[in-house]
Copies of this chain bind each other. A is one copy, B any other.
Amino acid sequence: MKLSTKSRYAVTAMLDLAIHDKIGPVTLADISQSQGISLSYLEQLFAKLRKNGLVEGVRGPGGGYRLSRPSDEITVARIITAVDENVTMTRCAGKGTCQDGERCLTHQLWDDLSEQLYSFLDGITLDQFSNRPEVQQVAQRQDAQHQRAHHHFIFRRTAA
């Protein structure tokens, strides 16, 4: 379990997807602009998220990324481990293979704590954030703007 800027980028980007899930795929260019993360870096992160089955890409015009499952099945823990796949932090991985007895003792305790932390974050899903009333409000306002600006094919489709 590791927590860095990288993890934060991944989580906030996924939140972005969850918030705008209804209007279809979100482009990385949009996320890059709205959150101030470089496009290519986002592409690296999303490559990992895709490999871990958390998102799926839609190619071509009007494409982008969307969540590959409902937002109540995607936990923060899974997002973090997807981008930071460096899992085992202690050398002996709590197995007791260290030479010194004491080192292993503290390693074991750490791994235990690490697991508690994972369980905690594995209980937090994206929809716990995206379903809040304030969030919904802002999202609707932004989605409307978005439609006016770019995708008038959506407008036509809903009008038809």
- Chain A positions near chain B (C-beta within 8 angstroms): 1-5, 8, 11-12, 15-16, 19, 33-36, 76, 89-91, 100-103, 105-107, 109-110, 112-113, 116-117, 120-121, 124, 129, 135, 138, 142
A8 touches B110 (CB 8 A): yes
A8 touches B89 (CB 8 A): yes
Residue of B nearest to A5 (CB): B89
Q: A3-B2, A110-B12 are in contact. Are A142 and B101 (CB under 8 A)?
A: yes
A35 touches B142 (CB 8 A): no
List the 10 closest A-B pairs by CB distance, nearest first: A3-B3, A12-B106, A34-B102, A109-B129, A15-B106, A35-B103, A120-B120, A12-B110, A34-B103, A105-B138
Q: How far is the CA of A3 from the CA of B3 in the complex (A)?
A: 5
Copies of this protein chain in the complex: 2
Q: How far is the CA of A113 from the CA of B81 in the complex (A)?
A: 16
When distances are taken between beta carbons in the complex, the residues of chain B under 8 Å from A124 are 113, 116
Q: How far is the CA of A74 from the CA of B110 in the complex (A)?
A: 16
- Report the minimum CB–CB distance from A111 to chain B (whole Å): 10
Q: How far is the CA of A120 from the CA of B120 in the complex (A)?
A: 8
Q: How far is the CA of A85 from the CA of B147 in the complex (A)?
A: 42
When distances are taken between beta carbons in the complex, the residues of chain B under 8 Å from A16 are 102, 106
